[in-house]
A and B are shown apart, each in its own frame.
Chain A
Amino acid sequence: MSPTARFARTRRFARRDDVRIVAGLAPLLLSVTALFGTAVGLAVLRSLGVGPFTASDDPTLAAYRRLLADPEFLSSVGLTTHVAATSTVLAAVLGTASALVLHRAVRARRSVTALFGLNLPIPHIIGAVAILALLGQSGLISRVATRAGLLEGPAAFPALVFDRWAVGIIVQYVWKELVFIGIVALAMLRSAGDDLDEAARTLGASGWQRLRHVTLPLILPGVLAAAVIAFAFSFGTFEVPLLLGGSYPAVLPVLAHRRFTDVDLAARPEAMAIGVVITVLVVLIVAVGAALARRAVRPDAT
């Protein structure tokens, strides 16, 4: 489809598009809701104390009440939010910046973009192990520094993994999500073309003005959508904090797993309740993010 044809589309056509998208997604939606819906339903039931290992079959909010009174759960919510928010903001800013630089500097060279996206297929768990090998107190950097006489030994290297502020986890997420957000931003830049930028230039807009009023609004919906995904992912993922996180506090998914594998079966409803809390929070975040993205597209629509 040529750019002119796309421009010629009316809103009515876009709506028909929406229907088509939903229809096309139906098989996916169906299987996902069947799988996911059943699991969430089970988790909710178990979190209410319904199911095996429990004395009564009456639903109770006891597990949720225990969680709210549990300082470990509360600090875990704090830590999880900190990890997800910090890594997402860093990844969004750095990813967008990299996309802008890449777009301007190497417009024609696809190989550079391919290089930029090189770590996308690398699994998170491999990334986590790599961070451990790199940033651990006996990791590569620490060893090189010790060999060079800059450090006295492993203990003198700052604690970047298993640490209170989850630096290692955040670095791992940024490493991966920067590229994810960057690629989305780059695709948005590419599809937007340079016409508007050049028009603004002809009209005398400075570089900053063009970035602020032309380029960023163009790519913002994509960046926001990608950031929401990144946030939701880092909020709910398990293996990275398991490998790089400290003993206390732990992020919510790790805490849920600990409660689930607790020798005391009474802790299982709590594990399920944590799972439900994660799900609800992630859904809320996605909803807010989607609303924000919509507003970013139509600043005039109030």
Chain B
Amino acid sequence: MRRRPATATRALATATIATLLLAACTGVDAVSEAEADAGTDAGTDAGGEPETDQVRASDDGPAVGLPDPTDWPAVLAAAEGTTLDLHMWGGSTEINQFVDEVYAPALTELGITLNRVPLADTADAVNAVLGQLESGRTEGGSIDLIWINGENFVTMRQAQALHTGWAEHLPNARLIDFDDPSVAFDAGQPVDGAESPWGSAQFQFVYDAERNEPDELPRSYAELADWVVANPGRFTYPAPPSFHGTRFLKQWLYELSGGHERWLDEDSPEAAEQATRELWELLEELRPYLWRGGETYPTDIADLDRLFANDEVDLSFTQLPAGIGASIDAGVLPATARPYVFDTGTIGDHHYLGIPVNAAEPAAAMVLANLVLEPDLQAAKLDPARGWGDGLAIVPDRLEPEEVGAITEVAQRLGATAVDQAELKQARLPDVAGPLTRILERDWDRFVRQRQPLDP
């Protein structure tokens, strides 16, 4: 058979090419991961070395170069004619549009040109500022204002790279409840006026009014445990470290450990391990009653929404204070879906605007931070039709009667697809930092997902 070698060569060549192509695909991924790695390097390194002299620009109170927000006319005057470089995550069309079509024209009226710089990841802006500071660019920096919260805020605070002590002196700061721990702490770190709230989000449960009456729903985690046993196979939650899964369990831990208060300044990993242990024992008892007998869990909230919409489970979650109207319109949730919160509260947090210490135009930055708190603009942002259903940063109770109309109007239009904004605020619990989140995610993986035995 003389033709065989040719066939073999062809087959081998095909296999080689295909394998190399496959390998190439994997290779590209690895390279981009490596690049992503390199991207975070700078942040971590810089975050770990806040001792650099240049970084010590501001610690307490407004630094040199930061206009005094209590003299607002002077701030406005200083801001006039400037260009404001706002760096923000740019992954949402609705949010980008809102900034370009609502804030930008309002700033133009004040003589400020808004330059929105879209980011793939807020950490990019954090790293840019830290890099500029390290290279000695302590003023005239390229970033005037960053949309920031959570870990990025903690990193910037560690590096003392944000102006502090200005946010509570903005004219519209009167509308903000700074005593609310979910405003005053960001990822467990005191905010100290280093960032000014822009909006909020809060964990809520979602049920289907067609399937369940409101009075038969669980209103606390203790009731949820009984409810799960009474309705086997009808409940599950997204696997941590998905955002919603971790939040769901953290709230459960709050309730089991007697409240969130002790976690605000508890930073020993042992305490977290001890408290989560009780949770893992309880979850092990409940496992047979979960969807699929607790053998597998939805990957994220989209998975859970699908199970809920397909009548496989009876509860889902949402984070949007404006509720689930948009999800219902999109057909993701059934028309009869309704959000609600536990009587024992749910975790809410804020997102903020922060001014880097080397901002070129801090006055213009303050003007925008103040502008976004205007009641009618907060109302527009809450409205899914005009904004993106983002929660309020301001407290309606603090508004003058004539100012509150726009918010009331939006709230009424949201109707049954949103929880009452006052009720939401009432139920809001702060998020905590420290080791709790990490231990919760790590040990859930061990003891719940992998079912490693809990040592006695």
Contact = CB atoms under 8 A, between A and B. Distances in A.
B43 to A, nearest CB: 11
Contacts of B233: 155
Contacts of A43: 30, 34
A36 B22 CA distance: 10
A248 B296 contact: yes
Contacts of B452: 71
B37 A138 contact: no
A229 interface: yes
A10 B6 CA distance: 10
B7 A9 contact: no
Contact of A14 (B9, B26, B44, B437): B9
A112 B422 CA distance: 65
A17 to B, nearest CB: 6
Contact of A263 (B20, B21, B441): B441
B312 A260 contact: no
B312 A229 contact: no
A199 to B, nearest CB: 13
A246 B294 CA distance: 11
Interface in A24-82: 25, 28-29, 31-32, 35-40, 42-43, 46, 51-53, 71-72
Contacts of B20: 28-29, 32, 36
A42 B30 contact: yes
A221 B11 contact: yes
A185 to B, nearest CB: 11
A29 B45 CA distance: 37
Contacts of A72: 450
Interface string A257-283: 000111110001000000100010010
B307 interface: yes
Given A17-B6, A35-B24, A297-B7, A52 B41 contact: yes
Interface string B290-326: 0010011101000000110011100000000000000
Question: Chain B's interface: helix, strand, loop or mixed, by majority?
Answer: helix
B27 A35 contact: yes
Interface string A221-263: 1101110110011001000001000111000000000001111
B454 interface: no
Contacts of B5: 11, 14, 297-298
A32 to B, nearest CB: 5
Contacts of A136: 310
Contact of B297 (A10, A25, A52, A247): A247
Nearest to B34: A42
Contacts of B311: 138, 153-154
Contact of A28 (B17, B44, B307, B441): B17
Contacts of B21: 32
Contacts of A262: 241
Residue with the highest number of chain B CB atoms closer than 10 Å, among A39, A162, A226:
A39
Interface stretch (A101-109, A201-209, A285-293): A285-293
Contacts of B33: 260
Interface in B203-253: 233, 239, 241
A188 B214 CA distance: 65
Given A225-B11, A225-B14, A71 B312 contact: no
A159 interface: yes
Contacts of B12: 225, 290, 293-294
Given A40-B30, A248-B450, A53 B44 contact: yes
Given A52-B44, A247-B449, A18 B9 contact: yes
Contacts of A25: 13, 16-17
Nearest to B296: A246
A14 B1 CA distance: 13
A233 B29 CA distance: 15
Interface of A is mostly: helix
A164 B451 CA distance: 14
A87 interface: no
B271 interface: no
Contacts of B15: 225, 228-229, 286, 289-290, 293
A39 B297 contact: no
Contacts of B8: 221, 293-294, 297-298
Contacts of B7: 188, 221-222, 297
B19 interface: yes
A226 B297 CA distance: 35
B292 A159 contact: yes
A154 B234 CA distance: 11
A110 interface: no
B292 A39 contact: no
A77 to B, nearest CB: 15
Nearest to B8: A297
Given A10-B2, A155-B233, A225-B12, A40 B27 contact: yes
Given A7-B2, A52-B44, A153-B311, A39 B239 contact: no
Interface in A75-96: none
Contacts of A137: 310, 312
B28 interface: yes
Interface in A105-143: 136-138
A67 B9 CA distance: 38
Given A225-B12, A232-B22, A155 B312 contact: yes
A242 B3 contact: no
B27 A9 contact: no
Q: Which 7 A-B pairs have the closest CB atoms?
A: A138-B310, A36-B27, A39-B30, A246-B296, A297-B8, A39-B27, A225-B11
25 contacts: A6-B3, A40-B27, A40-B30, A52-B38, A52-B41, A52-B44, A154-B311, A154-B312, A155-B233, A162-B292, A184-B14, A225-B12, A233-B22, A236-B22, A246-B295, A248-B449, A248-B451, A260-B33, A263-B441, A264-B442, A282-B19, A286-B19, A293-B11, A297-B4, A298-B4
Given A42-B31, A154-B312, A247-B295, 13 more contacts: A14-B6, A35-B31, A36-B26, A40-B30, A154-B310, A154-B311, A164-B295, A222-B7, A233-B22, A236-B22, A263-B441, A282-B19, A290-B15
